[in-house]
Amino acid sequence: MKRDFRGGAFLAAAGVAAASPVQGAEANASVDEWIKCLKSTDQGVNTAACQSAPEVGAAAVKPLAGLLADSDFELARRAKRAFYRIVRHAGRPGAAAEALAVETELVALLAGGPVQPRRDLLWMLSEIGTGRAVAPVAVLLMDNELREDARCALTRMPSPEAAGALKTAFARVPEDFKYALAESLRIRGQEVEGYPSRKLVPSAQTTVKPIVPKNN
């Protein structure tokens, strides 16, 4: 079965539907072919590949993650667009199996690698993450570079375990981060003593004075 990513949709020959599962070496070859099309300098080819990303699904997560920090800015941006198409398609109602497959691949990539791609992965998980993703995301609350993204992801995830992870982390994180966690806990309906919101606190002193109009 040869799949063609160049003509617009993700096509399958021999009358087999595009959504049909492909196994083993053939699946790997199909994903490799799709990645080549996404990397193509031909705008028609790479646009078609990006649009067909949901049909590739979870199998594309790992290779796409490797492109998020690519030195070619346009390719990295295209990969991110394709990634989000996969995540949001998997998160549609009635697609629990697809969402689980994508979530599993995303979680596996959180443990290491460049910071910026992992930030992107955390925000993707914030859209489809379930209780299964809470613990791996919560670990990053102790990472100085990723803690804010992890906090935001847990704040957005509907799982009750997410609120529990934020509450547990509150006792362990440095003092300067407690204010942000307190804000997240309040959003999740938890009461927190002290640590008021800093959103309306000026970040710097100013000597600027209001303009007083002169009387003519």
Q: What is the pLDDT of residues 114-170, one digit of tens each?
A: 999 999 999 999 999 999 999 999 999 999 999 999 999 999 999 999 999 999 999
pLDDT for res 196: 83
Residues paired with 11 in a beta bridge: 4
Residue-averaged pLDDT of the chain: 86
Instruction: Please give the residue range of the domain that contains residue 20.
Output: 1-97
Q: What's the CA gap between 31 and 162, in Å, rounded?
A: 33
Domain assignment of residue 124, yes or no: no
Cβ–Cβ under 8 Å, residues 125 and 106: yes
The CA-CA-CA angle for residues 179, 196, 159, to 5°, reads 60
Domain assignment of residue 172, yes or no: no
Cβ–Cβ under 8 Å, residues 6 and 48: yes
Domain count, the chain: 1
What pTM was computed for the model?
Answer: 0.79
Domain assignment of residue 140, yes or no: no
Distance of CA 142 to the CA centre of its chain: 19
> 27-74: per-residue pLDDT in tens?
566 999 999 999 999 999 999 999 999 999 999 999 999 999 999 999
Instruction: Enumerate residues 6+ apart whose C-beta is below 8 A from 157.
Output: 125, 126, 129, 130, 133, 134, 137
